[in-house]
Each structure stands twice: as C-alpha cells, then as structure tokens.
Structure 1
Amino acid sequence: MTFKPAPWPRKLRSQEWYGGNSRDTIYHRGWMKNQGHPHDLFDGRPVIGIMNTWSDLTPCNGHLRELSEKVKAGIWEAGGFPVEVPVFSASENTFRPTAMMFRNLAALSIEEQMRGQPIDGCVLMVGCDKTTPSLMMAAASCDVPSIVVTGGPMLNGYFRGERVGSGTHLWKFSEAVKAGEMTQEEFLEAEAGMSRSSGTCNTMGTASTMASMAEALGMALSGNAAIPAVDSRRRVMAQMSGRRIVQMVKDDLKPSDIMTKAAFENAIRTNGAIGGSTNAVIHLLAIAGRMDGVDLTLDDWDRCGRDVATIVNLMPSGKYLMEEFFYAGGLPVVIKRLGEAGLLHKDALTVSGETIWDEVKDVMNHNEDVILPADKPLKEQGGIAVLKGNLAPLGAVLKPSAASEHLLQHRGRAVVFEDIDDYKARIDDPDLDIDETCIMVMKNCGPKGYPGMSEVGNMGLPPKVLQKGITDMVRISDARMSGTAYGTVVLHTSPEAAAGGPLAVVQNGDFIELDVANRSIHLDVSDAELATRLAAWTPRHEQPASGYAWLHQTHVEGADTGADLDFLKGCRGNAVGKDAH
C-alpha cells in the first residue's frame, strides 16, 4: 500500500481552540498557560494527547506514569506539545463483575475525550487486557493519528526452580491443591514468586496477545509487543513512539489508513502463529466494527487462521514465557515467518510509514526452541477454531493449541450448571454425577448474562475427577476464559443463554458432540424437541433499572460480533464541536 502524506504545514485540529486572538481562543489558551507553557507552544505545532491508563488499581499498568515521561521526551524532541490525559482504566484484576463489562464504557469515554479536546494525535498507553482494545476502539471511532505503546510483560516468575507463568500456573496450582498434590502453604509460597516486576502477564495471555495484535495491525512500532516492562529498551520504544506520533500528525497518517481488512487478516494469522488468546476474537471484531469499510466477521477468523501453525512455544500452549520470546526476536520474527509462508499481506501500512514487510524482512530468530521452525511447529493447526451447529448457530470458539488432542472429537453427557454461582455451589460435591467422559456446560455467563461476559469458561474440574489424575475435560459455555488458561474449552457460544440461545435449554443428561476438525458442535436432541424447549424458555434475570448496567444490558451485542454496544458501531470522526464560550 502506498501512503501519500498530507501537505505540511497546515492548520491542525488544536488550532480551533488555540489559533488566533479571539475571546474564545484566549479563554482556551490563557488557562493552559497557568501550567507555565510559553506562548509559542500554541503556534500550530502538533498537540499530542498521551492517553494514559495508569492506575494504582490496574497493577499491570502501574509503571505507565514513568513510561509516559519517555513518550513526552520524544514528543518534545520532534517539535510537538505533549499533554498527558488520564483515561478510564479497566483492570482485569479488580473490576467487578468483570472488566469486560466496562471495555465499551472505557472506549466511549475515551473517544469523547479525544474528540472533545484540542488533540491532534494520540499515544495510546496500554497494558492490561481491556485497556488495549478500548483505546484502539476509541481511536478507530475518532480516526485521529494514533500510536500504541504497551507497558510490556513482567519478568519470568519462578517457584522452586520452575518457570511460573502468570495465570497459567495459578490455574494449574489451584487444581493441584484440590487434587491433594500441593499444600496451601506451597501455593502461598508460589504466589510470592509469580509477579516479581512491573508489567502485564508474562504468558501469551490476553495482554501480550493484544500487544501482538496492535503490532500486527500496524498500530505500534515493530518490536513493541514483547519488550519486558523493566527492560531499558521499553523506555527507548516509548521515546521513539513519541517522536513518531508527531510526524504521523504532520503526515495525517490515521487509523483508517492502517487498520484495513488486510491488516486485520494479518493480525488473525499472527494470532494463530503465537497461540494467542481467544479474547482477541472479540476485541478485533469490536475494533473492526468501529472502522468504516472493514467487514470483519467470525468466519474470517476460521478462514484466515485455520491453517496457520502455532510456532511460538509459550505458555499456556508451550513452555516458555514472554521474556524468552523477546530475547528470541519477538513478534517481528513471527511476522517474517508468515510472510515467507505466503500468509502475510506484505504491503499493509504501519505507523512507521513503512509496510509491515519492510519492517521485518531482515530480522533474525535467536532461539529456535522458543520460535520454532516452520517445519516443526507446536501445533500444525493453531488459530482459533470457529464451531457452529444447533448448539451455537452464530458460532462458538475453541483454541486448539491449548486443548487436549484426544478431546477434539468427543461425545459426552452434559452436566449442566445454570450459572457461575450454581457451578461454585455444586462442583466440589462428591455426590455430583460426573466423570471425565462428561461435558461440563455452564449457562448465563455471556455479554448479557453475567453481566459482561466474565473469564469463567475454563471451569475447574471436580475434585473427584482431578484425584484420578485427569487434567482436562470438555467444557462449554457462553463465557470467556483468560488468555493464560488452557484446556478443551468451548467459549463465546452464540446466541448466549441469557438472550435465549439454544445453550439456555441444554438439560442434564443431554448428549453433545464436539468435532473440532469439522468445526461442529451439536446437541443431540431433535429439531422439534429443541423448538419446544426454546418456546417454553423465559429469562432468568431481571433487567437493571438504571445506570451503566441498564445501558450495557439494553445495547450490548453478541460475542459473535464483538460484544460492542450497538450504537457505537462505525467511525464518528473527529470534527470539532461548537464552542459555547
């Protein structure tokens, strides 16, 4: 793709606030001067908003205030005017009922901050899972020049000489405690070594996946995704991104120039190659839904990702962590491999102004046990499997690289939990009628049902099964799961149970057939019986009466289209509103 920079100099958005000597201009400019800004900073140079998701309650992003200082340095060096803007930060660790419920609220509020303030370009300071998609959704909706700077992953965790992957080992150790293989004291000892530096999860969880998606989409400088949070090169990347956004504003290089359908297809294939999180499905669909002219669907995930081999040997699919991934060469090596295999739109544009292929064509792999050779992949078919059938007419997803091979084709008796509370109340009961051949089914955990679609789809197995040495069973729900999780887990079943999808009427004792190779998930009841059950179905939960919960429940769409709010689809642009002063 060729990009023709806009002529420079030209009048920028910020000059609608700061240009000239009218009463309104002096109102805007004069108050800004109480911060000690010289008059010539308002002379038409690019004003860059550093949209910072730092928060003490978002520990993955706890170091972004310091990192933003390096961004500011880069902006000053390039002749821009940096202004740091604190924005909505939805922490995966603390937000209830789930951070996912607030991704759209964050995107809405940040979009209006971008549009309603004198900002010519944005640096998106992100890290924790929902901060990356929410800021990218906002940037897509406004279409102001924007660049992503991630905080980076934390260093490797260790417990008694073993690498400890954040999230991945939490699930593993928790199951070991229930199975009687690990004491509670040992679990607490392991906790102390899990998170030993600033940064996001050190596995290929959702945070690192979305950092990789931003880079594969072309919205971050090459190499951004994998640099550890505490590595000095992370600070260099921040400063270089600050320099780059100023030139992007001068060139008028916008998200709509970068995030094309070809770019999204590159990202989908990259997700398969890295063994990325299933959450990327929902987030990329939502980001694409904010772009005009980009028709991305769930079927594109299967079409583009089905034959992509997983070549990154990282937890939860493999054995290494993000620190080793960076030392091996990081995401540029993976993207180069895709290009060499004919699986990359090489002419897709990036924030650097260069094509994605020009960015990666000369990189080298420094560890072929971390980034595997193409002929020795971790999984021959990685990607995200999109399953359809009478249980999921609009689709469900499964991550083959994290699943058990022997369960990818399975028929089992359903053991049904009506919601997460029902699951928690019954799963440890020794009298629960379940064994390893059964299929665990959980309802009412989708976008409307939880509400917000929590990461509870990777249901822990019952102790009576774990104590046999069984570590995986087929699990089906309309929920999500953490990108750090693993197992043969069918997620995002659509339509969800709370919206009256077929999942809502699955009963204990029904048989379900899973056939990943044929992309099928089937409830073994007749069409007539299924229709009768659906006709008799009534919602279990009352609609909230007010507040954001009401707005979310009324307007949230299904997981199959990205679970965005229906009135936020499309690009609304960055036109400056009327000034009432």
Structure 2
Amino acid sequence: MAKKPQDLRSARWFAPDDLRSMGHRSRAMQMGWTADDWEGKPVIAIINTWSDLSPCHHHLRDRAEWVKRGILQAGGTPVEMPVHSFSEQFLKPTSMLYRNMGALEVEETLRSHPIDGAVLMGGCDKSTPALIMGAVSMNLPFIFMPAGAMLRGNYAGEKLGSGTDVWKYWDERRAGNITKEQWDGVQGGIARSYGTCMTMGTASTMMSIADGWGLTLPGASSIPAPDAGHKRMAAACGRRAVDMVWEDLTPDKIMTWESTRNAVTVAMATGCSTNAIIHLIAMARRAGVDLTLDHLDEIGHSTPVLANIRPSGKDYLMEDFFYAGGLPALMKELGDKLDLSVMTVNGKTVGDNIAEAVNFNDDVIRPLSNPVYHEGSLAVLKGNLAPDGAVIKPAAMDPKFQKHRGPAIVADSYAQLKEIINDENYPMTPDHVLVLRNAGPQGGPGMPEWGMIPMPKALLKDGHRDMVRLSDARMSGTSYGACILHVAPEAYIGGPLALIETGDIIEMDIPNRSLRVDLTEAQLDARRAKWQAPAPRYERGYGQMFSQHVEQADKGCDFDFLRTDFGAPVPEPEIN
C-alpha cells in the first residue's frame, strides 16, 4: 500500500504542533532548511562509508553528491550520514572485528534519526554485509549503491589483479625469481584507480551478492568505479530510494528464502570469495532466513562457476566482466537455476530485469555448457576436526589435492607460523598439512585473513606452489590455494583444532565433503581433558563485548544479541 505524506516516519519529528517538534523544525532551519524540506517529503539518509583512509571508497564523497541530486530530482530531502569506513587495508587487527560494530551503527543511525529510507554506499569487503545487516534489522526501505571495482592493474604489459597477483609475485620474489625493482613495479601498477579490488575477491563477491539478492539497481555491482555510468547509477539510486518510500518497499518484502537462494547461486557462479559464506549467513539471519552451511553446500554442488575472473578464473578481471555484460548477463546464463519471480528494489522481478541482458563475451561469462569449474566455487567440509564445518575453494586450488592425507605441522600463533614458513631448511614435504590455530572469531581476535598461509620457502625453492593449509582463520577473497578455512568450533574455545599435534595425520576428501584427523574419540577426549582455555583477548571496551557475544563462523559471526529471534523487537524511539 502506498504511503501518504502524513504516514512518513520523519513526520513524527516535524509535523506535530507541539514544543518538541518546534525544536526539531527550528534546528532544521538553523541548517538552512525551510518547510519545503520537511513537509510531505521523504527524508533519505545517504549512509556513507567514505574516509581518507579507505582507498576503495575514496570516490564516495563525490558519489554522495550524485545520490543527493537523484533524491532532489525525485522530490525527497537528502541527508548524508557518515558511518564506519571499514578500511580493509589499514584497519587492524582486522576489519572483520568491526563488521558487527558497523552494522549496529547503521541500524541505530537509521532508528534514531528522522529517516524514511536510505541509500547505502559501500563495497569494500565488510562494508556491504555491515550496511545490509544494519539496514535489514531496521527494516526501512533501502537501496545498496555499490562502490564498484577499480580499473585493471598493469605492469610491463601484463594485466594485474589486486590481491591475486600480489600473492603470486610475492611467492616468486621469496623464491628468488623476481627482483626488488620488478616487485616495486608490481606495487606501483596493481592499484591504478579508486574502487575495490578488481578480482572476484570479497568486495566484488559481496557487491554481486547484493545485486543477485535484488538489493541494487540491476547490474550496478559490475560498473567500474571510475566509469561515468557509475555517477549516473548513483543518481538513479537516489531517485529510486524516494520511490521506494512511497511504495513502502521494505527489505522484508525482498529478502525472502527464494531471493536468498538466488543470491547464493549467483555467488557460487561468480567463483566467490570464501568470506561470502560467513556474510551470507549473517545477512540472511538478520532477514529471518535460516540459511545454513548445508544449504550453501547443496547449492554449490549444483551451480557451476561461470565467471572466468581471477582467482577462480585465469584470464579476466571485473572490468572485462562489465564489458561482457556484467551480472545481468551471468544471471541470464543461469536460467532456471534462479527464481525469476522474486521482487527487487527497482520494483520489478528478477525475470523482468534480466530479460534483455546480453552476454557479449562467452569466454568471460561462460555458458552452463562450458563452465570454468563444474560445480560451485566453495565446498563445506565436516568431520571430527570440524564438527560444525569448514570451507575450502576447490575452484582456486591445484586439483591434485581433491583428496589428501598428510602429517600436520602445527603453529599456535601467526608469529610461530612465520618462523616455520620462512625457514628454508624446515623439514617438510608437499604432503604435509600446515596448521594455524587460535585465529578464529575470538582467537584472532576477529578472525583475521591469516588463512591464506604463504607457501613455505622450503617448498618454494623446489618449485612447489600449492599445499594443503588448514586454519580457523579467514583468507582474502583474492587468494587461492588448497586452504581449508573457518574451522568451527575454533581452537581458542576448545574446538578439536586445539587438540591436534604436529605429526597427526589429517585427511581431506572434497568430493565426500570430509575433514578429519586420524585420532579416535578416546584419544581426542584424553587430550581435551588436558586442554586449558587461554586468557581472554580483551578485558574492556568493544573488544570485550565482541569476545562475549560473537558467534562462530558457521553462524555468520554475528553478535548473538542482534539475531532476529533474540528478545522483543526494538521499539521506535520516543521523540525528544
């Protein structure tokens, strides 16, 4: 049912003829507003994650002006609201520690101000899930405006992909195959513009998921950040946000089980980041959709990788994906693997939105008959080493490790791990399994991206470029290799990973989705009886709150008290 001006949420602040509302109006006039700005007009929040230390979002200060233009064109009143910037490169110990803080900030920013709808501006890894989690929990009409990927990197005539080629060339430098000058050349050419990583890392994955979920304008996730079309898209987001308020098109009408399944299918078909698993579960659960690791694995089994984009693909980057037709073209190729009847933020169905999509390059966006990889990018493994699950990306590893059995080399910390991998004489073979523990949600703290364990020098010098690596950490979505991640429960709280020792035999079987240590339950129980819990990472502040309330990786690492089913709904604020 369409809203009427008197039904606007912002009218509760501005419309009544009383003392409190007079104060709101007078303070709005202090900022230069007039009655034309608040009478019968939706107030649209532009939730901006720009900062001077967020290179991926460095253009969002400008894009906010284009969003404002669109809001004004459609008869709304724009208000720009800054939130946490989620700077992936500069935020320590890890940006994941602050995803939930950002989601809480977005939710409370929208709840506590006279806001009718929102445009969410972000794209770097944790910003997309944080923005959506917060806005979904508030359940105001919103549209997500993707920051977009940067331009292709370039060095010495070679196309470079951020992250992915960093890991590749770092291995070659550590192996002595490239010089310091060449390394510096890669450094200067791999990030040529503002925008997010232009590989199918976590940033592009999460923007594509938002698009596939119906939370962006169709195809918005594929537009490169410096492209002029990105400015036009930003203005269109502003216009559409105003219309969504009048239509009362809230996220609960968009984020259904059916659209969630679409989002997961799109993720798998893009060759998505392993981080997508955690964020998908967290976002879905905020929307009241009980998405599990088993659902993700089941969809992955039946969804081939169609996007030939690094790191799962070999040849192309996000700029090429855009020129080939972008996400609408990929979704068109998926055909009946998607539910085409679900509603999206532009007021049309998925089927309507992709009806005219064209695939201009069937090597960049492969058809179902010629996929990059025969099934989805990710696989979920379970067993006595990961009772609640672990994740691996088979599409981006050496196929010979589909089934593997080998002795563990265990590191209790990242510092200890670095000593092992930098020791050229450390006794190991390619059959060993490198294990890092105490790097999960509580152990990290914040589950840092330490899971893409660099190849040991002892193996690099012999020409090896992949081996099985295992941890309760995450890894960058731009990474590759036979890395088992997100082991749950984590070692820091006494999960089975805490009990293994160097020399124990680890068995991984990806086709059968199995991960186990060759120990009996009696042996594990005996070790568990001797295990002692480590001291808390934090004793005060946000870190303590995080440690007390963060859930494990298989639950999305959200705070337990922010679940949809936790307690009574939050009431609208009293107007003061």
**Normalised-by-shorter TM-score class:** over 0.9
Equivalent position amino acid for 1:177 in 2: R
Q: Per-residue deviation at 1:90?
A: 1.5
Picking from 274, 290, 300, the partner of 1:295 is 290
Q: CA deviation at 1:579?
A: 2.6
Answer yes or no: is 1:314 the counterpart of 2:309. Answer: yes
Does the aligned pair in 1 maintain the 2:414–2:436 contact within 8 Å?
A: yes
> 2:6, 2:287 → 1: CA distance?
25
Give 1:431 deviation, angstroms.
3.4
What amino acid is aligned across from residue 573 of structure 2 in structure 1?
G
Give the alignment partner of residue 559 of structure 1, picking from 529, 553, 559: 553
**Which whole-Å CA distance do the structure 2 matches of 1:427 and 1:363 have between them?**
47
The answer on 1:167 being equivalent to 2:132 is no
The equivalent of 1:64 in structure 2 is 60
**Counterpart for residue 240 of structure 1:** 236
Indicate yes or no: 2:536 matched with 1:536: no
In structure 2, the partner of 1:422 is 416
**1:151 partner letter:** A
SS of residue paired to 2:273: coil
Residue 374 of structure 1 pairs with residue 368 of structure 2: yes
Instruction: Give the counterpart letter for 2:246 in structure 1.
Output: K
Report if the CA contact (8 A) 1:141-1:573 is conserved: no
Separation in 2, partners of 1:565, 1:68: 30
Identical aligned pairs, as a percentage?
46
Aligned ranges for residues 452-471 of structure 1 at < 5 Å? 452-471=446-465
| 2: CA distance, partners of 1:377 / 1:268 | 17
Output the TM-score relative to the length of structure 1.
Answer: 0.97
Quote the offset at 1:469 in angstroms: 1.1
Match for residue 519 of structure 2? 525
Q: Which residue of 2 aligns with 1:89?
A: 85
Question: Is 1:40 aligned to residue 36 of structure 2?
Answer: yes
Match of 1:358 among 352, 355, 359: 352
In structure 2, how many angstroms separate the alpha carbons of the residues matched to 1:251 and 1:10?
14
Secondary structure of 1:280's counterpart equals: helix
Could you tell me which residue of structure 1 aligns to residue 23 of structure 2?
A: 27
Give 1:222's aligned amino acid: P
**Equivalent residues in 2 for 1:179-578, closer than 5 Å:** 179-292=175-288, 294-318=289-313, 319-338=315-334, 340=335, 342-570=336-564, 575-578=571-574
**Aligned CA-pair RMSD:** 1.2
Kept in 2, the 8 Å contact 1:16–1:576? The answer is no
Report if the CA contact (8 A) 1:407-1:488 is conserved: yes
Task: Report how far residue 392 of structure 1 moved.
Answer: 0.3
1:384 CA drift (Å): 1.6
Shift in alpha-carbon separation, 1:154–1:573, aligned structure 2, 3 A: farther
Match for 1:277: what amino acid? Answer: S
State the Cα deviation string for residues 44-95 of structure 1 (Å, max 9, x = none): 2100000000011111001101011111111001010000000111111011
Query: Structure 2-normalised TM-score?
Result: 0.98
- Is the 8 Å Cα contact of residues 211 and 220 (structure 2) preserved in structure 1? yes
- Structure-1 separation of matches of 2:59 and 2:399: 40
Is the contact between residue 150 and residue 225 of structure 1 (CA under 8 Å) also seen in structure 2?
Answer: yes
CA distance in 1, matches of 2:481, 2:537: 33
Residues 510-559 of structure 1, C-alpha deviations (whole Å, 9 max, x = no match): 11111000000010011110111112111234342101110011111000
What is the aligned residue count? 573
Q: How does 1:131-146 map to 2 (within 5 A)?
A: 131-146=127-142
In structure 2, list runs of 5 or more residues that go unmatched: none
Give the match's secondary structure for 2:221: coil
2:74 and 2:242 in contact (8 A); partners too: yes
Tell me, in whole angstroms, the C-alpha distance in 2 between the residues paired with 1:87 and 1:198. Answer: 19
Aligned mates of 1:48, 1:579 — CA distance in 2: 19
Bigger shift: 529-538 or 72-81?
529-538
Which whole-Å CA distance do the structure 2 matches of 1:291 and 1:459 have between them?
A: 34
Offset, 1:404:
1.3
Matched, 1:114 2:110: yes
Secondary structure of 1:138's aligned partner: helix
Looking at structure 2, the residues matched to 564 and 17 of structure 1 have their Cα atoms a distance apart, in angstroms, of 32
CA distance in 2, matches of 1:179, 1:59: 30
Runs of 4+ in 1 over 4 A off after TM superposition: 571-575
Shift of 1:208: 0.5
Deviation at 1:387, TM superposition (A): 0.4
Determine helix, strand or coil for the equivalent of 1:147: strand
Structure 2: distance between partners of 1:499 and 1:334: 41
Q: 3-state DSSP class of the match of 1:457? A: coil
Query: Which letter maps to 1:310?
Result: V
Q: Alignment partner of 1:382: what SS?
A: coil
- Checking the alignment, whether the CA contact within 8 Å between 1:457 and 1:478 is kept in structure 2 is yes
Q: What are the Cα deviations for residues 361-385 of structure 1, in whole angstroms up to 9, with x where unaligned?
A: 2210011110012211110012320
In 2, Cα distance between the equivalents of 1:41 and 1:229?
A: 31
How far did residue 573 of structure 1 move? 6.1
Deviation readout 1:470-502 (Å, 9 max, x if unpaired): 110011100001000001111100000011100
* Cross-structure match for 1:50: 46
SS of corresponding position for 2:341: coil
2:12 alignment partner in structure 1: 16
